[in-house]
Amino acid sequence: MERYEFAELYYFRDNVCMHCTNAQELQVLFPPLKKFFPDIEFEDAKLPSGETYWMMGLRQNWDGHEGEALWWLLRQLCARGWEPLTPNTTHSANVAYVFKRRVEG
């Protein structure tokens, strides 16, 4: 039986957010944004087990660069083997991108 991981990357109230079934991806992808946006802060949400399933990059003032942060994350997901599916235009955010990645084993 094939197994997949799921990720959704989107804007929410002018912040860059991501849901992911692989908590390690969140920990790998978001911290490097500090190189480009040193004042970025992160907020996350955890399951009762303690596993992170959602992360948001918060900035007081993106100065119009939130699109660049989103694009950088999109590029990273594709480079890490995530398959982009159709953009989710029904999401409450401005735009959302949905990905899947096949799990070996």
pLDDT in tens, 63-98: 777 788 888 999 999 999 999 997 765 555 567 899
Tell me which fold the domain 3-103 belongs to: Alpha-Beta Plaits (3.30.70)
Give the mean model confidence (pLDDT) for residues 18-38. 89
Residue spans of the domains in the chain: they are 3-103
Long-range Cβ pairs for the range 16-20 (8 Å, 24+): 16/56, 16/57, 16/66, 16/69, 16/70, 16/73, 17/54, 17/55, 17/56, 17/57, 17/93, 18/54, 18/55, 18/56, 18/73, 19/53, 19/54, 20/53, 20/54, 20/55
Name the pTM for this structure.
Answer: 0.83
pLDDT bracket for residue 60 (50, 70, 90): low
> 43 pLDDT exceeds 80?
yes
